[in-house]
Chains A and B, each alone.
Chain A
Amino acid sequence: MTGEVALAVLLLGPLLAALGCLLAGRQGSTVALLALIAGAAAVVVLWDGMLRTGPIEVRLGGWGAPLGIVLRADGLAVGFLAAAVVVMGAVWAVARHDFATPRARDVFWPSSMLLWGALNAIMVSRDLFNLYVGLELLTLTAVAMVALGRGPGAIEAALRYVLYALMGSLVYLLGVVLVYHGHGTLDLDRIAAGRSGADALALGLMTAGLAIKTALFPFHAWLPPAHAGAPSPASALLSALVPKAGFVMLVRLWFEAMPDATPPAALAVMAALGAGAILHGGLMALRQERLKQILAYSTVAQLGYLFVMFPLVGGAGAGTAGAAEAWAGTQIGAFSHALAKAAVFLCAALWIRAIGSDRLADLAGLARAMPLSCFAFGMAAVSLMGLPPSGGFIAKYLVMRASFELGLPGWGLVLAAGGLLAAAYFYRPLAALFAREPPRVQRTPRLLEAVPLALALAAAALGVLSQPAYDLLQAGAPAYARGIGP
Chain B
Amino acid sequence: MNALPVVILLTSLLPAAVTFFLPQEQHAWRNGLNLGGAVIKLGLVVVLMGAVAEGIEPEARLPLAPGLDLVLRADDLSLLFVSLSAFLWLLTTVYAISYFGEKPELSRFFGFFSLCVAATTGLALSGTLITFFVFFELLTLSTWPLVAHKQDDQSLAAARSYVLYALPGSVAVLVAIIWLEGLVGTVAFAAPPDLSGVDRWSLTLIFVLFVGGLGVKAAIVPLHGWLPGAMAAPAPVSSLLHAVAVVKAGAFGIVRVVYDIFGVARVQELGLGTPLAVVASVTILWGSVRALQQMELKKRLAYSTVSQVSYIVLGTALAGPFGTIGGLVHLVHQGIMKITLFFCAGLYDERAGARRIEQLDGLGQRMPWTSAAFSVGAMGMIGLPPIAGFVSKVYLGVGAVQSGELWVLAVLGASTLLNAAYFLPLLWRIWFLPPQTEGIGATPIPFAAVDERVPGLVVPAMLTALTSVAAGLFAASAFSPLGWATLIAGGAYSP
Q: Report A's interface with B, CB cutoff 8 A.
A: 321, 324-325, 328-329, 365, 367-368, 371, 375, 382, 387-389, 393-394, 397-398, 400-401, 404-405, 409, 412-413, 416, 419-420, 423, 427, 431, 434-436, 463-464, 466-467, 470
Contacts and interface: CB of A to CB of B under 8 A. Distances in A.
Nearest to A365: B151
A321 B66 contact: yes
Nearest to B130: A397
B65 A470 contact: yes
Interface residues of B, number: 38
If over half of B's interface residues share one DSSP class (helix, strand or loop), that class is named, otherwise mixed; here it is helix
Interface string B93-108: 0000000000011001
Interface stretch (B83-91, B166-174, B409-417): B166-174
Which of A328, A375, A387 neighbours the largest number of chain B CB atoms within 10 Å of its CB? Answer: A387
B64 A464 contact: yes
A73 to B, nearest CB: 22
A210 B182 CA distance: 33
Contacts of B130: 397
Nearest to A332: B65
5 contacts: A375-B20, A401-B178, A409-B179, A412-B175, A416-B174
B178 A397 contact: yes
B167 A420 contact: yes
Interface of B: 20, 62-68, 70, 104-105, 108, 130, 133-134, 137-138, 140-141, 145, 148, 151-152, 156, 159-160, 163, 167-168, 170-171, 174-175, 178-179, 181-183
A405 B182 contact: yes
B160 A431 contact: yes
A464 B122 CA distance: 14
B181 A434 contact: no
B181 to A, nearest CB: 6
A404 B181 contact: yes
Nearest to A434: B148
Contact of A398 (B65, B108, B140): B65
Contacts of A423: 163, 167
Given A404-B183, A431-B160, 10 more contacts: A388-B137, A389-B138, A394-B68, A397-B178, A413-B175, A423-B167, A434-B148, A435-B151, A436-B152, A466-B64
Contacts of B104: 368
Given A400-B174, A467-B65, A388 B134 contact: yes
A100 B108 CA distance: 34
A464 B62 contact: yes
A427 B160 contact: yes
Going nearest first, the 3 A-B pairs with the smallest beta carbon separation are A404-B182, A388-B134, A436-B151
Contacts of A321: 66-67
A416 B175 CA distance: 8
B65 A466 contact: yes
A467 B64 contact: yes
Contacts of A400: 174-175, 178
Contacts of B183: 404
B253 to A, nearest CB: 15
B171 A431 contact: no
Contact of A427 (B145, B163, B170, B182): B163
